Every structure is written in structure tokens, then in C-alpha cells.
Amino acid sequence: MSHPLARRAAAEFLGTALLVAAVVGSGAMGTSLSDDLAVVLLVNAVATVAALGTLIWMLGPISGAHFNPVVTGVEAARREISLKEAGLYVAAQVSGALGGVALANVMFDLPAWQASTHERTGFPTWLGEVVATAGLLLVIGALTRTGRGHLGPAMVPAWIGAAYFFTSSTSFANPAVTIGRCLTDTFSGIAPASVPLFVVFQILGAGIGALLTELFYPRPGEAEPLDLPDAIDRSSTAPSVPTSQSPPRDESPIP
């Protein structure tokens, strides 16, 4: 089903906002419940995984559930999405992140926006972001290239949840979420000075994930949008092609 661009952008705004609210809010709740950092991280991870899966399932049929500028950027680089749509998606994602962090902060009786003092820096942490983001793009690429996009609401949160615990950065893997999290001085915050390099290494990780997708799941000459649960029809204004002239689409996994 095709949806107007404004509706798709609104879905990206809402999805990113609620994702950031879940990340920040669960971190704040965790610290109010326990002084044990392992417990707080577990609360944070479980809430994030549950929220992300639900949001992909709920909004994926509208916008493709990117909620992440690097996912949109890779799709634009592959010319699977127009630059106009990509720009609007990224603007919606970043503004959604700002709205989501404000919502979470206010729910916990904090200023809507407050710069974080939690510095996250150093090569081990940046490497963690490369791994987390590369893995995310590879998971999404594998799902879309093998026709298993319907598993996105389970597989993508599973990767993020695992990466919370096995990467040194706790798996931000998203520039918009990173920008949002610099405006909360809670458990999940990141100091504004730490944001630029986080984003640089997230972009690097996205590039690696995209290359790995091409290596393991090559589809030369065929567009495979990074949309979950399924590819979104963006051709509402394009003339329809008779079914008899449309080549069958191979959805079988690549051997």
C-alpha cells in the first residue's frame, strides 16, 4: 500500500520519538529502582527491545520503520529512495528524537532538554559503535534481501538487545537517537562533545554493514529497499505496469 510522503515522515517522527522516550525513560526508571548498574542496564535493554519491536510492527507498514538516519542514508545511496524523501525522513527522525527525549525527561520531572555530562569516548567505545551499527545494517539487509522482512520486529530488536551487552558502547547505532540522548542528564545520556565522533563511527559502521550485505546477499540491478516489515510502495503517482509485463520477484534466500 502506498502512503503519502507526509504520512510516512510523520510515522518516522513518531517512531523515533517513542523509541528515544523508551530508551531515556527506562534508563531513568532503572536508576530509580536500583543502584546496581547491571540491573539498570537490563531494565534499559528490555524496555528498548520491547518498544523497538512494537514500533517496527506498528509503523513499518507506513514508512518502512527506518527510525535511523544511517538506514535512510544507505537506502538513498543505493537510489532506493529519493533524496527528497530521504531528507524529509532524516529531518523527521532527528526532530522526533528531540521530542522523545523531552517527553521522557518531563515524565521524570526533569527539564525537557538538559545537556548530558556522561562522556563516552575512546577507541574501544567507538569500535563498539562500528560493530553495533554494522551488525544492524547487515541484519536489515539480510532480512530484506531474502524476503523475510516480516521477521524485522523480532530480529532487529534481538540484535540491538544483544549489542547492549556485548559492545563497549551499549549499542546506540543511530545518529538521531545519539543526538536525542545528549539532551538528557540521566543514565542513557551522552555528553554533547561525545556526539560527533559517535556519529562518525556509526556512519562508518553503516558503510561496513552495507558492504557486507552486498557481499553475502548480492542482488545486482534489483532494488531492495531497507523497509520493514515489507518494502513500501512509493510509486503512487507512477503509471501502473500491467501484471503480465511485470517480472516475478525472487524472494528465495541466497544460497
pLDDT of residue 65: 98
pTM assigned to the model: 0.90
pLDDT of residue 220: 67
> Considering the domain 5-231 in this protein, what is its CATH number?
1.20.1080.10
pLDDT of residue 1: 53
Quote the distance between the C-alpha of residue 26 and its chain's center.
18
95-109, 191-205, 215-229: which has the minimum mean pLDDT? 215-229
Q: Summarize pLDDT for 25-36 with one digit per residue, the tens.
A: 999 999 999 999
What percent of the chain is modeled with pLDDT above 70?
90
**Span 71-76, mean pLDDT?**
97
Q: Summarize pLDDT for 137-148 with one digit per residue, the tens.
A: 999 999 999 999
Distance CA 161, CA 155 (A): 10
Specify the higher pLDDT residue, 3 or 110. 110
The pLDDT confidence band at residue 221, using thresholds 50, 70 and 90, is: low
Q: Give 70's contacts (C-beta < 8 A, 6+ positions apart).
A: 133, 137, 174, 175, 202, 203, 205, 206
Say if residues 50 and 205 touch (Cβ distance below 8 Å). Answer: no
Residues 124, 31, 189, 201, CA torsion sign: positive
Q: Is the pLDDT of residue 115 over 50?
A: yes
Q: Long-range contact list for 251-254, CB < 8 A, 24+ apart?
A: 251/146, 251/147, 252/146, 252/147, 253/146, 253/147, 253/148, 254/145, 254/146, 254/216, 254/217, 254/218
Q: Summarize pLDDT for 14-28 with one digit per residue, the tens.
A: 999 999 999 999 999
Q: How many CA atoms lie within 13 A of 124 on its CB side?
A: 4
- Within 10 Å of residue 254's Cβ, how many Cβ atoms? 11
Residue appearing with cell numbers 561525545: 194
